[in-house]
Amino acid sequence: MLVSPSLLSADFGNLNKDLEMINASKADMLHLDVMDGVFVPNISFGFPVMKYVQKACNKPLDVHLMIVEPQKFVNEVKDCGAEIMNVHYEVCPHLNRVVQQIKNAGMKAGVTLNPATPVCMLQDIVADVDLVLLMSVNPGFGGQKFIGNTLNKVEELRELITKRNSKALIEVDGGVNLETGKLLKEAGADMLVAGNFVFKSEDPLMRIKELSEL
Ligand code: DX5
Ligand code: ZN
């Protein structure tokens, strides 16, 4: 299982320590949650923090934009060293164009679905994206409870990906721990985001290792 720990749950008073832990870990990527207080009811961090993370972190960056009009910031996100730029389906009326913009900028394009957005909405874009990020909580906060219906959505998405000959990876975000992670693996997920489960633990390296061995 690929693992992308979410920096949102890190100690921002001592980011270096947590980034050193990530560098020494088996994490495949580092997940960065950008929030605008408009699309989601919270504000997290922005480009200056991401630029610092780019310098201090040796893992590829998986950027999850929970903002309206993400197409305005493709170049800024690229300049922060993002490998994947994830935009929400719910804020992109011209999703096909945004996906092309992300790819033209040299990044992998990810499309994210809120828990109440059906997987079938992706049928005409799934072949063009590198990754689909399914939210298993309502976006905005770490530490929330996993929404069980996500397991059905992962199965449905796996079928859609096969049917449409897509190479998209399935990433899941919210309430991930070893229990929900195991169920997600069985349902067909490729990559797990984990915030609290990793950073609020006494032994975050072990937690990342355990998730990666699922
Ligand atoms: C929620 C964010 C998540 C969050 C996950 O809006 O997109 O990435 O950090 O945190 P946990 O794993 O604690 O649910
Ligand atoms: Zn996220």
Of the bound ligands, which one is closest to the alpha carbon of residue 147?
1
Q: How far apart are CA 105 and CA 30, in angstroms?
A: 20
The predicted pLDDT at position 135 comes to 99
Residue ID of nearest Cα to ligand 1 atom 10: 142
The predicted pLDDT at position 136 comes to 99
Nearest atom (ligand 1) to Cα of 136: 14
Q: How far apart are CA 108 and CA 106, in angstroms?
A: 7
Q: How far apart are CA 24 and CA 51, in angstroms?
A: 20
Q: What is the 128 CA–ligand 1 centroid distance (Å)?
A: 26
Q: What are phi and psi of 176, to 5 degrees?
A: -85, 130
DSSP 148: T
The predicted pLDDT at position 182 comes to 98
Residue recorded with tokens 């033209």:
104
The predicted pLDDT at position 67 comes to 98
Assess contact for 133 and 112: CB atoms under 8 A. Answer: yes
Residue ID of nearest Cα to ligand 1 atom 6: 139
Ligand 1: lining residues by beta carbon, under 6 Å = 6, 8-9, 31, 33, 64, 137, 139-144, 173-176, 193-197
CA 54 from centre of chain: 16
Q: How far apart are CA 126 and CA 154, in angstroms?
A: 14
Q: What are phi and psi of 12, to 5 degrees?
A: -75, -10
**pLDDT per residue as tens digits for the range 142-187:** 999 999 999 999 999 999 999 999 999 999 999 999 999 999 999 9
Render each residue's pLDDT in the chain as its tens digit; 214 residues. Answer: 999 999 999 999 999 999 999 999 999 999 999 999 999 999 999 999 999 999 999 999 999 999 999 999 999 999 999 999 999 999 999 999 999 999 999 999 999 999 999 999 999 999 999 999 999 999 999 999 999 999 999 999 999 999 999 999 999 999 999 999 999 999 999 999 999 999 999 999 999 999 999 9
The predicted pLDDT at position 104 comes to 98
- Pocket probe for ligand 1: among 112, 172, 196, 201, the residue whose CB has the most ligand atoms within 8 Å is 196
Q: Which CATH number fits the domain that encloses residue 201?
A: 3.20.20.70
- Pocket probe for ligand 1: among 7, 9, 91, the residue whose CB has the most ligand atoms within 8 Å is 9
Q: Which domain holds residue 79?
A: 2-212
Nearest atom (ligand 1) to Cα of 143: 13
Q: What is the 201 CA–ligand 1 centroid distance (Å)?
A: 15
The predicted pLDDT at position 85 comes to 98
Nearest atom (ligand 1) to Cα of 138: 6
Q: What is the 81 CA–ligand 2 centroid distance (Å)?
A: 17
Q: How many CB atoms lie within 10 A of CB 165?
A: 8
Using a cut of 0.85, tell me whether the model's pTM lies above it: yes
Residues serving a catalytic function are 33, 173
Q: Domain count of the chain?
A: 1
CA 198 from centre of chain: 15
